[in-house]
Amino acid sequence: MREIIFDTETTGLDPKSGDRLVEIGCIEMVNRVPTGETFHCYFNPDRDMPAEAERVHGLSISFLSDKPRFHEKAADFLEFIGEETMLVAHNAGFDFGFVNSELEMCGLPPLSRERMIDTVAMARMRHPGAKNSLDALCTRYGIDRSHRTRHGALLDAELLAQVYVELTGGRQIGLSLAAETQAIEVTTLSVARRTRPFRPARPHAASEAERAAHAAFLETVKSPVWND
């Protein structure tokens, strides 16, 4: 099963008010295992970068000014995610909203919400009442995020991929399949040979008294078959 874990960075919170997508990072997973295939791109938003947004992700307009516009990379992005692959994001409605806004501006159809898997909703069901930010989930599951000093789409997608594995069964997933396919190790037990003391053969010849008693018993048998 192929899935795409992705994250976005933007100029703000609402594409309807003119905020734009400035970074997207995607991680390919097959059967909950990262394949090493990624898609990552920065975009020139053709607008200013609010200071509060820059404090979150550190992407300045100066840095983004020579980057491609979304429409220049839209085909590559859509090719990477495919047409039916499920798309996993943290607070996925936010990311879908920005991606679909950019696609609309390119004259392209939006991503279907039926493809959306929201890890925030999953975390709330699994840990009701707890903090379910990406940082909090990394802490809960022991995922190293020490290198995450600021938000970054590809880095956050990599962390989310690990969180998603934990939310969907953890590293125990697939153990039943592994048990069926692994070779069974057979251990040969060595039994130590016991040392027995020597015993001579027991005498087995009948005594005169035993032979006499046997003959007397035979006399009592009526019509013995050995006389036929």
pLDDT at 183 over 50: no
Total-model pTM: 0.73
Q: What percent of the chain has pLDDT over 90?
A: 70
**201 inside domain:** no
**16 inside domain:** yes
Q: Alpha-carbon distance 171 to 179, whole Å?
A: 14
Q: Are strands 116-118 and 86-89 parallel, antiparallel or unpaired?
A: parallel
Q: Which domain holds residue 143?
A: 2-173
**4: CB partners within 8 A, 6+ apart:** 26, 27, 28, 29, 80, 81, 82, 85, 86, 87, 88
- Report which secondary-structure segment, H or E, holds 65: none
Q: Which structure tokens are listed for 42?
A: 């920065």
**61 inside domain:** yes
Choosing from 90, 147, 151, 204, which is the catalytic residue?
151
Q: What is the pLDDT of residues 46-99, one digit of tens each?
A: 999 999 999 999 999 999 999 999 999 999 999 999 999 999 999 999 999 999
CATH number of the domain where residue 166 is located: 3.30.420.10
Q: Which residues pair with 130 in a beta bridge?
A: none
pLDDT at 202 over 80: no
pLDDT at 177 over 50: no
**218 inside domain:** no
Number of structural domains, the chain?
Answer: 1
Active-site annotation holds for 147: no
Q: What is the pLDDT of residues 108-150, one digit of tens each?
A: 999 999 999 999 999 999 999 999 999 999 999 999 988 876 7
